[in-house]
Chains A and B, each alone.
Chain A
C-alpha cells in the first residue's frame, strides 16, 4: 500500500515567539522554521512501516507557500519517496487542509494517512479528525503504537485478505486500543517513536526525488474562510516572585501569605 503523510512548516518550538505590536499575528520574519514535531513523528512512522514491508511508497504532502518545500525535502531525506506541495499563499484553516488532503487521497489512494495530532503554532488538533470525517474513514487519534494486521476475513466474498491496523491511543487516564479497517487516518502522539536524523548522503539524494507542485484550483478545492482572526495578544505576564531560603520559610509563606495549604 501507499502511505500518505501530511506535514506542516512551523516556527521552531524552542523559539520564544514575539506577538506583533499591531495585533495582526506573530512575527515570522527571520525566525527559525522547522517541521512540526508531531509531523516528524508521522514521517518516521511511515518510514518504519516501509522498512517493515507494510508500505511500498511514502508520499509526503504539505500545504502552504513555496518555503514549505524545505520541509518536504527534509521528509524526503528522512525516507519519503516523493513530495506534493499544495501551493497557497498562507496556511488555510484545518477544514480546508482536510479537503485538500481528501483530494490528494482520491488521486493517490493511500492505505494509511499519517498526520501529527496538532501543529504547535495554531494548536488546533483538528485536521486528522476532519479528514476522517469527510472521507468517511475510521480515525486513530493520538497514536502511541501502530500495528498493521492482515487476517482472514470472516466475509467469504472477499478473497481472504483484509487489512486492518491496531492503534493504541493516548487517552485521559490511560491507553485505549482500537482496530481500524484500511484505509485509515492516524494522528501521532509524541510517544509513537523517536524520529531519526537525516544523513548527509540522504539529504543529497533527496534533492533528486520528485516534488510536484499543485494548486487548490487544480485539486478542485475552494479555499473558504470560516473564521477571522480579530487580533493576537500577548498573554498576561507572570512575574517572578520571591526566593525563600528554607523549607520552614516556604511552608510559613504558603500558610500565611498565599493561604493555599
Chain B
C-alpha cells in the first residue's frame, strides 16, 4: 500500500437525463472505503452529452466532494474504446488527481468499460464487489454466488465494479446545496479522444412503464411453467397490481415469452428486492444466483419437488392458471 493518499473516483452511469440507481448504490459503496475511520474523498466523473440535470442531482449528494464533467458528442454513445481512454486520462493527467480507487456499477455499462480501464492502468480488477472490508480487501461472489471470496488487492489503484443488489442507494438531498461540491467543466480537454476502429450503429431499448428491475422493491418473475406469451401476461398483471417489475428465467426468455433484458440470473440481472415472486420457475442454480438475496421469496409452482421451494419463504403448489388470477384479484 505505501503511504499513497486515498481518493475514490466513481464513474457515473446515466442516460444524459438522470443518474442511474446503480450509480447511487455505487456511491454508497464508495462511502464504505474508510481510512483511519474517515471516509475517503469521493469524486464522481460524469461523461456524456448535455447531461446538466445528471450533474445537478449528483451535486446534491453530501458524500460527494467533486464532480468532474466531460461534455461532448464524442461521448454520446459511451463506446468502451474512447471512454476507457478518457477515464485513464482523467486519472493520470487531470489537475494532479491521483486516485487510489476507481469504482463503477456492475451493469453492462460498467462491465464493458471498467476492465478496459484496469488493463490500461496495468492493474487487476475486482468484479461484482458485495462488501468492502478495508481499502484493499473486498468480498465478491464466485461460482454463481455459491461461494464468497475475500480478496486482497495489491495494486496501487483498485479498480472495482459494484454489485447493486448488495448496497442501498445513497440519498440526494435537493434542499441542501453542499458548499463543497463544485464542478469542473472539462469541455476543453486538449483534444477529445475519438474511438478508434469502432462506431455506434444503433440501439433498440425496450420501453416500459414499470420500474427498472435493479431498483424495484417488488419483482414478479415468470418461467417456462407459464407455457406461452399469453400465459406470461398473468405475471405482468400481478406486477402492475403490486407496482413491481417483471423478471424472467432463461427458459422463459428462450421460449420467446419476454425480451431477454428481463432475465434474472448469473448471466442476466442480479436483483435483491423486498419481495420476489417466482411463478413457474423451477429454480436452477443460474437463476438462484440472480435472486437468492431477496428479503422474502415466494414460489408458485405445480411441481412440489421444484428446487425453488428449498429457498422460498412461502411456497404454494398448484395450477398457475388457477392460482394467478385469484392472486391478482386478492392483492
Binding site for B on A (CB under 8 A): 11, 13-14, 16-17, 19, 26, 93-95, 98, 118, 120-127, 129-134, 136-139, 141-142, 144, 166, 169-181, 184, 189-191, 225-235, 238-248, 250-251, 253-254, 258, 260-261
* A123 touches which of B142, B203, B205 (Cβ 8 Å): B142
Smallest Cβ distance from A43 to chain B, in angstroms?
18
Interface string of B99-140 (1 = CB under 8 A from A): 000000001110111111111101111111000000001001
Contacts of B297 in A (CB 8 A): 238, 241
Residue of A nearest to B125 (CB): A126
B206 interface residue per 8 A CB criterion = yes
* A260-B274 in contact (CB<8A): yes
Binding site for A on B (CB under 8 A): 77, 79-81, 84, 107-109, 111-120, 122-128, 137, 140-155, 195-206, 218, 242, 250, 254, 259-261, 266-267, 269, 274-275, 285-286, 292, 295-298, 309-317, 323, 326-327, 330-331
If the complex has contacts A17-B147, A248-B330, A251-B330, are A178 and B198 also in contact, measured as CB distance less than 8 A?
yes
Contacts of B142 in A (CB 8 A): 26, 121-123, 232
Residue of B nearest to A258 (CB): B296
* B313-A130 in contact (CB<8A): no
Report Cα–Cα, A234/B150, bound state, in Å.
11
Report Cα–Cα, A138/B197, bound state, in Å.
6
Q: What are 6 A-B contacts with C-beta separation under 8 Å?
A: A95-B118, A126-B127, A166-B201, A172-B109, A230-B150, A247-B316
Report Cα–Cα, A120/B266, bound state, in Å.
9
Report Cα–Cα, A228/B154, bound state, in Å.
8
* B315-A260 in contact (CB<8A): no
* B315-A242 in contact (CB<8A): yes
Smallest Cβ distance from B80 to chain A, in angstroms?
6
Report Cα–Cα, A242/B195, bound state, in Å.
55
Smallest Cβ distance from B248 to chain A, in angstroms?
13
Smallest Cβ distance from B294 to chain A, in angstroms?
9
* B151-A138 in contact (CB<8A): no
Contacts of A243 in B (CB 8 A): 309, 314-317
Given A129-B111, A180-B198: 6 more A-B contacts, CB < 8 Å: A139-B80, A171-B109, A176-B77, A229-B151, A242-B314, A243-B314
Smallest Cβ distance from A221 to chain B, in angstroms?
13
Residue of B nearest to A242 (CB): B314
Report Cα–Cα, A243/B306, bound state, in Å.
13
Smallest Cβ distance from B283 to chain A, in angstroms?
11
* B116-A230 in contact (CB<8A): no
If the complex has contacts A120-B144, A232-B149, are A177 and B314 also in contact, measured as CB distance less than 8 A?
no
* A125-B111 in contact (CB<8A): yes
Interface centre among B140, B144, B313 (most CB of A within 10 A): B313
* A241 touches which of B122, B286, B313 (Cβ 8 Å): B313
Report Cα–Cα, A253/B331, bound state, in Å.
12
* B109-A228 in contact (CB<8A): no
Nearest 6 A-B pairs (CB), nearest first?
A: A226-B124, A241-B313, A138-B198, A129-B115, A133-B119, A130-B119
* B119-A240 in contact (CB<8A): no
Contacts of B124 in A (CB 8 A): 93-95, 226-227
* B112 touches which of A122, A136, A142, A180 (Cβ 8 Å): A142
